[in-house]
Amino acid sequence: MTDTAFTAHDVAGFLQENPGFFDEHADVFATLQVPHPHGSRAISLGERQIMTLRERNRELEWRLNELVRNANANESIGTHVAKWCSRLLSECDPQRVPGEIALGLAEQFDLNHVALRLWNLSELPATGYGEPVTQDVRTFTDSLKAPYCGTDTGFEAAGWLDAKPKSLALVPLRLEADGPAVGLLVLGSDDAERFTPEMGTTFLESIAQLASAALHRLNPATPKA
């Protein structure tokens, strides 16, 4: 006796090889019942297809909304960066530039805690933002090739803040891209999710480049003989 039992693979293969099957047997398509994906009852194949399309549409709508939210967030960040940068450019007194960097960021980005220390700048006073820092801080800052973001608040530089944050970003400042660090910007937040290890640092790197460019005013080039 020949075994004529069909497997699920056989049925699937047959339907793929015969796309006109349901056109020729419309009554089968209309009466075919399949399990409901979220329940125990059976539904028609057509209804199941409609549900699948609706789920796909919801997923696409969610992705579109996410893109819109990201675009709006990026636009907002860009606006705040432009306002902060305008403050740096409009400051006529080089001695006030460090304050515009730190306080301007706190204001524009609603940061709870901000600290800035600078060194090796010829026109920088040895007080305030130019207050001496340890060699450990300088060595650590030189080792940062990109901003650090996270919830580890045990860094020595975190002690510069007026209170212990729940998350922070450490942003090295350099007059030249591959040169030694001349400062460290510390951004602290009372929100543990504000600065996380998984977040991108492109925005913070842009902040570092703009702040570093402004600091050239405190380190004017030596006139050539």
Residue 193 lies in a domain: yes
Q: SS3 letters for the chain?
A: CCCCCCCHHHHHHHHHHCCCHHHHCHHHHHHCEEECCCCCCEEEHHHHHHHHHHHHHHHHHHHHHHHHHHHHHHHHHHHHHHHHHHHHHHCCCHHHHHHHHHHHHHHHCCCCEEEEEECCCCCCCCCHHHCCCCHHHHHHHHHCCCCEEECCCCCHHHHHCCCCCCEEEEEEEECCCCCCEEEEEEEEECCCCCCCCCCCCHHHHHHHHHHHHHHHHHCCCCCCC
| pLDDT band per the 50, 70, 90 thresholds, residue 52 | confident
More confident residue, 151 or 221: 151
Look at residues 50, 72, 90 and tell me which one is the last residue of a structural domain. 90
| pLDDT band per the 50, 70, 90 thresholds, residue 225 | very low
Same domain, 105 and 160: yes
Vertex 198 angle, CA 192 and 199, to 5°: 80
Long-range contact pairs involving 153-160 (C-beta distance under 8 Å, separation at least 24)? 153/188, 157/115, 157/117, 157/184, 157/186, 158/186, 158/188, 160/115, 160/117, 160/186
Q: What is the CATH number of the domain that holds 210?
A: 3.30.450.40
In the chain, the amino acid numbered 148 is: Y
Quick check: 26 pLDDT over 50? yes
Residue 68 lies in a domain: yes
In the chain, the amino acid numbered 146 is: A
The top-scoring range by mean pLDDT among 81-95, 164-178, 209-223 is 164-178
Residue 41 lies in a domain: yes
Same domain, 107 and 72: no
Same domain, 205 and 189: yes
Look at residues 90, 110, 142 and tell me which one is the last residue of a structural domain. 90
Look at residues 35, 70, 90 and tell me which one is the last residue of a structural domain. 90
Same domain, 86 and 99: no
Residue 59 lies in a domain: yes
Same domain, 107 and 212: yes
pLDDT, position 153:
85
Same domain, 57 and 115: no
Same domain, 55 and 140: no
Residue 168 lies in a domain: yes
Structure tokens belonging to residue 84: 């902060």
Domain extent at residue 84: 25-90
More confident residue, 59 or 121: 121
Same domain, 98 and 80: no
| Count: domains in the chain | 2
Same domain, 73 and 98: no
Same domain, 64 and 143: no
From residue 54, alpha-carbon distances to 62, 66, 125 in Å are 12, 18, 65
pLDDT, position 185:
97
Quick check: 17 pLDDT over 90? no
Same domain, 123 and 66: no
Same domain, 157 and 213: yes
